[in-house]
Chain A
Amino acid sequence: MMQTYIQFPLLSLVPKTLLLGVLGVCLHANAQVEHSSHPAKITPTKVSNACQGIGLECANAATPFITKDGKLLLAWTAGGVVSVAQSMDVGKSFSSAVKIAEHGKALDTGSDARPQIVADQQGNIFLAYAFFKDSNWNAQINTARSADGGNSFTSPETLVRDGSSQRFPSVLIKPDSSIFIAWIDKRLIATANRGGEKRLGGSIAYSFSGDGGKTFGTERFANENSCECCRIGGSLDPNGNPVLAYRAIFPGGIRDHATQVIAAKGAEPIRRVADDDWRTDACPHHGPAIAISGSGKVHVAWYTQGSKRSGVFYANSTNQGASYSKPSRVGAEGANVARPYLLASDQHIWLTWKEFDGTKSSVYLKESRDDGNTWSTPILLASTAGYSDHPLLLLRGNEAFLSWLTRDDGYQLISIGQKQ
């Protein structure tokens, strides 16, 4: 068992001046300096803006999970370390952080990477993250478990025994406590390239665990051709089957989105969400979001730079992805719109995203109370001037929350209302 504990309070609660002065772990960021009341004294220094600590105040990504009894579990990556802390008061204060793993610069902190954390009805926790295991930038997914509510975790161990690359874990926990994990797997690409092909991309692989993540069943491929650098979206349908949304590679190198139901007997057909026609070999680092409402309607939001469509879009499907509604634009045309995220409960759908206006990043929200047929006018939820993570949404009982990690304004869990 991991015995290492980090003995410091979570720092979003401490005034920033004190934080910087006392700990000296977080170098001054320009954005913070610009907020000082003495702008005349600022000189364009070349000090690194990188926050160097391992606490939440220096995290690049933080992932929340609400347990059955309403406790917030927060997993984050900062300074090459994966940590977890708990909050009994919806993010106002946190327990001491538990250090799960330390990988330094090898930890995957790409802009679409984030640790995954889920807990079952009894409070057993399962965590997954990726790091780069060799000098060829092959990644490895590690998992760790806690049987005492997050006070201690098992030593991380590899999910897959394979020499190629596994990255971008995406974890769901089913009501029966079984765990589903999907990831981007490069073993097929590696084999093809050894055979002289010059293939790019990865594959969507998945596996289930019936024992809380201690062991996993056979690894299977849902789609052999996917983008290698975008997060996978996942949501459970009313039958309890995971449904994935991801950036596939369609013939001709078209990196458009697909959804796929993963039934007990295996992966169902690949369903294209929209014909955006984004032909590219580039890494967009910008995966989609998916949420499934009580009616089984599949709601998807995604980013594209396709020849037929460019920006962030939303569409839904009433037939498990066999056909999708016409994509509708999210955010204002011409605005810098990014990182959509969805939450669904019964017929109530929330859609959030981030916009940047040249000075501050803002999170917007719109909601639908009729299963995505009509939507409210977007409202501004929060803004920040410094670095920020993707906006995420989650439910705590009947109350919906925005989870947003910001460098300047701390970690925020903001109530966005009751579900209908």
Chain B
Amino acid sequence: MKQYWLTLHTILSLSFAGSVLAVDTAYLKPYHTGDWKTIAKASNGAPLAIHFWGVTCPACVKEMPQWGQFLKVNPNARVVFIQVDDVSIDSMQKMLNKAGLEKANHYYVADPFDERLRYDIDPKWHGETPTTIVIDKNGKATRKTGLVDFQMLQNALKAKS
């Protein structure tokens, strides 16, 4: 009986919520204050880039298609995207689709994007976007604000030889 209700509930949820919720749960995950450890830890063994961007940031909008291209050419590169503006998930999705990034690993900031949220990411970062943090195979983080040099990024993300 319990199983039945659970199934029914799931069906109803999916049919009522439609595609927006499906997108939300499928590839845009909420990022909360303190989640950094989990995301940065995921890099153990291989280098990882975490890219912070915002849909209202013109430099980010200009650069996102280049990220899409980069991942197309480097499908094994480990990149996490975190969207920082307080906007609708639908608008994030639109921009990601346009950039060819719908299959990448995405988060959106679900708490105020303030000094508390940024502190465990990098206490010196004041929230400039775009910002990319590369974590090397030893766990050392390097923060780069502004547009990315994709050649350098490709080298930095190469798996250990």
A contact set with B: CB distance below 8 Å = 30-31, 44, 46, 48-50, 60, 105, 108-111, 132, 135, 137, 198, 200, 228-229, 280-286, 303, 305, 336, 338, 354, 356, 358, 361, 386-388, 407
Contact = CB atoms under 8 A, between A and B. Distances in A.
12 contacts: A48-B111, A49-B32, A49-B111, A50-B110, A105-B86, A110-B85, A283-B59, A336-B115, A336-B123, A336-B126, A356-B116, A387-B112
B56 A132 contact: yes
Given A283-B60, A358-B123, 18 more contacts: A30-B32, A30-B33, A49-B110, A50-B110, A50-B111, A105-B87, A105-B88, A111-B114, A200-B59, A229-B58, A281-B146, A282-B131, A283-B129, A285-B126, A286-B126, A336-B119, A387-B114, A387-B116
A282 B116 contact: no
B33 A49 contact: yes
B61 interface: yes
A358 B119 contact: yes
A21 B151 CA distance: 54
> Main SS of chain B's interface residues?
loop
B124 interface: yes
A305 B145 CA distance: 10
B62 interface: yes
A295 to B, nearest CB: 33
A215 B57 CA distance: 31
Contacts of B88: 105
Contacts of B115: 336, 338, 354, 356, 361
B94 interface: yes
Contacts of A361: 115-116
Nearest to A407: B112
B112 A280 contact: no
B100 interface: no
B33 to A, nearest CB: 7
Of residues A198, A286, A361, A387, which shows the largest number of chain B Cβ atoms within 10 Å of its Cβ? A387
Interface string B128-150: 11110000000000000111000
B34 interface: yes
A406 B89 CA distance: 26
B113 interface: yes
B3 interface: no
Contacts of B124: 336
Contact of B58 (A105, A109, A200): A200
Contacts of B116: 31, 356, 361, 386-387
B55 interface: yes
Nearest to B113: A111
Nearest to A112: B127
Contacts of A60: 86, 112
A48 B54 contact: no
